Amino acid sequence: MSFLGFFRDKLTQGSPGDNGNADRGIMVFEHTGEVIQAEGALKRGGWEIRVMGPPPEIQSGCDLVIEFPLIERLNILRTLEKEGIPPLQMVPVTGPLLQPVDIFHVKDFGEYLMVRAANMKLTVEKATGMIVNVSGGGCPDVPYLASAMVGRSLGDAPSPREIGHTLCGYSLQLAYEETRRRCLV
Amino acid sequence: MSTQVDARGLSCPQPVLMTIDTIKGEKTGEVEILVDTETSKENVSRAAANQGWEVADVAEEGDEYRITIRRE
């Protein structure tokens, strides 16, 4: 299944009146590389943003969007234009079909927890925090990422962002951060 | 006689988890794991090696793989 198919299949629940996202917007970019660059620039600027999957109503752009505080729209746009990565669209989240989709899927296997972010899966042993499996993607650096991370604990494993070179590395970084958030409380 | 883990038809990470659960119970000896994707073959082999088991043989049988791991 493609990235896009994965996201399109995962409609979020809720209605526009009760979703608490009335003050949020989404930015659509042409390429995932621009999403990654924009995420870095905006986080460095201190904005609270989240990389998510595109909502069903958005038919343009790549397979990731950035959710942002709508009130900061102009400041964010200026920042991205200065960085040379203006978004294709900036859209307020005004209805269920414009809700961005959570890119995380978590599955509990009893002693193990798997976190999938987009196309990459990271599985850890709950009791020890040891990474027991890294899979998914199909990018050339996945075997390297797996060999560098499997068998190490979440606290000791290298960050995929530092050792990865592809979109799979980026997705794995998201899974790694979400797993650490869940397991290293 | 070796213990056998049949993980054919299962998607990641299940073949890996079944393998780890089995070798934690066995401690030593020989375990054969059957998988049907190259990704599972690689992931299971990596996981076994990380648990201190030697990947003694990987036999390709049609669309399937028979991975033999050992530990003295």
pLDDT cut 90: percent of chain A above it:
58
> What's the predicted TM-score (pTM) here?
0.76
* Mean pLDDT taken over chain A: 85
ipTM given for this complex: 0.85
Task: Read off the pLDDT of residues B21-71 as tens digits, 9 standing for 90 and up.
Answer: 999 988 889 999 999 999 999 999 999 999 999 999 999 999 999 999 999
The CATH number covering residue B61 comes to 3.30.110.40
Q: Which residues of B touch A146 (CB under 8 A)?
A: 42-43, 46
What is residue A18's DSSP assignment? S
Question: pLDDT at position A138, please?
Answer: 80
The answer to whether the beta carbons of residues A24 and A93 sit under 8 Å apart is: yes
Task: Read off the pLDDT of residues A44-87 as tens digits, 9 standing for 90 and up.
Answer: 999 999 999 888 888 787 878 999 999 999 999 999 999 999 99
Kindly identify which residue of chain A lies nearest to residue B21, measuring between CA atoms.
A111
Query: Which residues of B touch chain A, with CB atoms under 8 Å apart?
Result: 12-14, 16-17, 20-21, 39, 42-43, 46-47, 50
Task: Read off the pLDDT of residues A1-26 as tens digits, 9 standing for 90 and up.
Answer: 444 444 444 433 333 334 455 699 99
Shortest Cα distance, chain B CAs vs residue A151, angstroms: 6
Helix (H/G/I), strand (E/B), else coil: A57: coil
The parent domain of residue B58 ranges over: 3-71
Shortest Cα distance, chain B CAs vs residue A4, angstroms: 20
CATH 3.30.70 segments of chain A = 3-98
Mutate to test the interface with A, among B10, B11, B16, B33 (most CBs of A within 10 A): B16
Spatial neighbors of B44 by CB under 8 A, at least 6 apart, are B7, B15, B16, B19, B33, B35, B67
Lowest mean pLDDT among A53-67, A105-119, A153-167: A53-67
Question: pLDDT at position A68, please?
Answer: 96
In terms of pLDDT, which residue wins out, A184 or A25?
A: A25
A3-98 carries CATH number 3.30.70:
yes
Contact B13 A151 (CB under 8 A): no
Q: Of A97, A140, A131, whose CA–CA distance to A112 is shortest?
A: A131
Mutate to test the interface with B, among A132, A141, A144 (most CBs of B within 10 A): A132
Give the model's confidence band at B8: pLDDT under 50 very low, under 70 low, under 90 confident, else very high. very high
